[in-house]
């Protein structure tokens, strides 16, 4: 079982990826609203840092990031498209 939780604090916040039933494993990512065509941005740890931060998710970085991206888009910006820019995800209008 997996899910995300979007936490808002003004114009920014955190997105938590939560996985598991009894033992919950969590990744936490910073997000903020954008400007112009960019609705919002989410920053993810670089691939080199991923396994040190989340050893339980070894080898699954892209799978988890894709899930977070799509679930966040569906829940918070359904008309936006997803654009990757390195370790940053952008939600762009139209």
User: Per residue in 46-75, pLDDT tens?
Assistant: 999 999 999 999 999 999 999 999 999 999
What pLDDT score was predicted for residue 52?
96
By residue range, what is the domain housing residue 77? Answer: 2-92
**Tally of CA atoms within 13 A in the half-sphere of 51 that contains its CB:** 4
Binned at pLDDT 50, 70 and 90, residue 22 comes out as confident
Count CB-CB contacts under 10 A for residue 67: 16
Rounded to the nearest angstrom, the gap between the alpha carbon of residue 33 and the centroid of all alpha carbons in its chain is 13
Mean pLDDT, the chain, as a whole number?
96
d(CA 88, CA 42) in angstroms, rounded, equals 6
User: What is the chain's percent helix, strand, coil content, to nearest 5?
Assistant: 30, 45, 30
Structural domain count of the chain: 1
């Amino acid at each position: 079982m997996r899910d995300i939780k979007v936490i808002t604090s003004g114009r920014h916040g955190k997105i938590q990826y939560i996985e598991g039933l009894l033992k919950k494993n969590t990744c936490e990512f910073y997000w903020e609203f954008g400007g112009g065509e960019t609705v919002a941005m989410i920053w993810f740890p670089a691939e080199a840092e991923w396994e040190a931060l989340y050893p339980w998710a070894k080898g699954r970085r892209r799978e988890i990031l894709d899930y977070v991206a799509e679930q966040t888009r569906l829940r918070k910006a359904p008309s936006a498209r997803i654009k990757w820019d390195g370790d940053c995800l952008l939600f762009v209008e139209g």
